[in-house]
Structure 1
Amino acid sequence: MLLCGPDTPELPGVDLRVERVGSRPGKADVDPLLPEADHLVVVGTDADLAAVVLRLLRKERLTGTTVGYVTTDPDSAVAELWRLPVDPVRALALAVRGDVDPVPLIRDDAGGVLVGSGRIGPVRGVGYCDDDVALRGAARTVEVTPDPDGGAGLVVRVTRGLVFRRPVTFSGRAFQLGCIPAVPEYDGVRHPRPMKRWTWYRHTEDLRLVRGLA
């Protein structure tokens, strides 16, 4: 079990090897643990989970590793998306004893992954979800998530107006955007610089997430 960040509390009654790592743990934190781990429980934020999943991707361990998630954020997009408990005791019980239910893993063309919610906005440009024009002009926000309904891979929600405008929804395998420079946000982390082009797309392998009842 990975406790991510110095303020993440230890959970009682855990019969697991526990490792405390930094927030958004990187190569030095995660990689030494992977050869002995076929089941990881990540305790932290969506950004922490994404950082661990990125190491699994880089080390080609996605197909051989099961991931349970105990969020420390009651507003976790991952927990809402995949209907995971936010209560730590219930979340831990599920993460340890639940069934694997593979879910789409979303990548971006800057070398990162998206496990919960990505946002860009306000933004002006042209965006495509597969072959469909999802945006032409200005939008207040563009939000991308993995598809919770087992579709092609991801869901795009484009909100154009400032008030009382319902988002227009698209689904597909990829979303590509060309725009006046804007800063993408993924799993609560802002990209370090504005981007003129951005792509989110479904990876060829799914994330083996524990989310079903055993």
Structure 2
Amino acid sequence: MTYLVLRCGTDAPLPASLPKDAHVHDLSAIPTRQELKVMDALATEILPEDPTPSLDEIAAQPDVSHLGTPQLAPQPIPEPLRTVVVGTDAALSAVLTRAMRADYMWVEFGFVPAQLADAPSTPASASTAAHNWGLPTDAEAAWSVALTAPVRPVPLIRNDSGLAIAGSAAICSWDGGEITGEIIVDDAVLVRQEAGAGAWGTRLVPMLDAPGIVAATALGPLYGEPPAPKGFLARLRNRHTPEPGALDHESVRTGRAVQAGGTEMRVVVDGVSAKRPVDRVTFYRHLRDLQIARP
């Protein structure tokens, strides 16, 4: 096996168990496409040409087997490449996005949350991805899983801008207030309202199995500071500040896709906001699964 370790925005010590011939690179906290050329090069060296069906060919298949239970990558790999990302969920999102866009999702991935690598006594609760995958909460065990645990595929969730989600994503109002618009999970309406009806958007998280996405309505701000209410009635209605990130657990829905349309919406992927508001966005399951090492 070839090991590639990407330390993203951290100088965390490497474990003694890391093979001496591993490729180790220190990158930005959120690595750029230029920085990730090292991963491109290793993937191309190991599998110069992919003999399996292309994404277009998979999409044209009459059945939907590729949207069922996540599968191991079908590519005939002479020597597996395991890329271990040491960093935040946002760093992992950037790495997965690059692999997805270059279409080498056969690469195996391991993940060591930055806060564990930097401070072994710190809980991994800040990493939604680590929580979703049941990764260990101490550094030594996290490294062990990232380097040696078998791959257990999960759905890879992306949006229509070509960004992969590592841990979670959110759709909310650009100004931080209650959302105006409609959010649908497959055929189920999650949110349909004018601003002021109590919904602040939605938070969605990749699942471990089909259909791929679990989403819930937000009952409080999902990003930034909400605007101050205007007028007496608005102030009266909002006299109790909603809890940031609070979710309506009775609204939980699962599906293959989440679609939203509305006014001045903000899209947040793994804590990183889009640079400008949108009036529509779709999150959906990618046609290839994520090959992640997990317990």
What is the TM-score of this pair, normalised by structure 1?
0.90
Is the deviation greater in 177-186 or in 162-171?
Answer: 162-171
- After the TM superposition, which parts of structure 1 deviate over 6 Å for at least 4 consecutive aligned residues? none
Query: Which moves more between the two structures, 116-125 or 87-96?
Result: 116-125
Larger Rg over CA atoms: 2
Alpha-carbon displacement from aligned partner over 1:96-146 (angstroms, at most 9, x marks no partner): 000100111111112211111111234221111111111111512410111
Answering whether residue 33 of structure 2 is matched by residue 27 of structure 1, we say yes
Which residue of 2 is the match for residue 166 of structure 1?
A: 248
Could you tell me which runs of 5 or more consecutive residues in structure 1 were left unpaired when the two chains were aligned. none
Matched-pair identity in %: 34
Q: Which residue pairs with 1:201 in the alignment? A: 284
Residue 146 of structure 1 is matched in structure 2 by: 206
Q: Residue 49 of structure 1 is aligned with which of 92, 117, 124?
A: 92
Q: Secondary structure at the match of 2:104?
A: coil
DSSP-derived class of the 1:92 partner: helix
Contact 1:46-1:115 within 8 A present in 2 as well: yes
User: Alpha-carbon deviation of 1:160?
Assistant: 4.1
The answer (yes or no) to whether the contact 1:71–1:86 under 8 Å persists in 2 is: no
Partner of 1:76: 127
Amino acid at match of 1:200: F
Other-structure match for 1:3: 7
1:169 corresponds to which letter in structure 2? V
Q: Please state if 1:118 is matched with 2:122.
A: no
8 Å contact kept, 2:191–2:201: no
Change (3 A) 1:165 1:113: closer
Aligned 8 A contact 2:6 2:83 in 1:
yes
Distance of 1:19 and 1:165 partners within structure 2? 38
Q: Output the amino acid matched with 1:146.
A: P
The TM-score, its normalising length taken from structure 2, stands at: 0.67
Match of 1:156 in 2: 215
| Distance in 1, Cα, partners of 2:184 & 2:293 | 31
One-letter amino acid matched to 1:145? V
Aligned letter for 2:111? Answer: Y
Amino acid at match of 1:89: E
| Count of residues in correspondence between the two structures | 209
Equivalent-residue separation in structure 2 for 1:82 and 1:141 (angstroms): 25
RMSD: 1.8
CA distance in 2, matches of 1:127, 1:56: 28
Quote the Cα distance in structure 1 between the aligned partners of 2:25 and 2:248.
44
Does the CA-based 8 Å contact 1:106-1:202 persist in structure 2? yes
Kindly indicate whether the alpha-carbon contact (under 8 Å) linking 1:8 and 1:44 is maintained by their aligned counterparts in 2: no
Look up the match of 2:186: 130
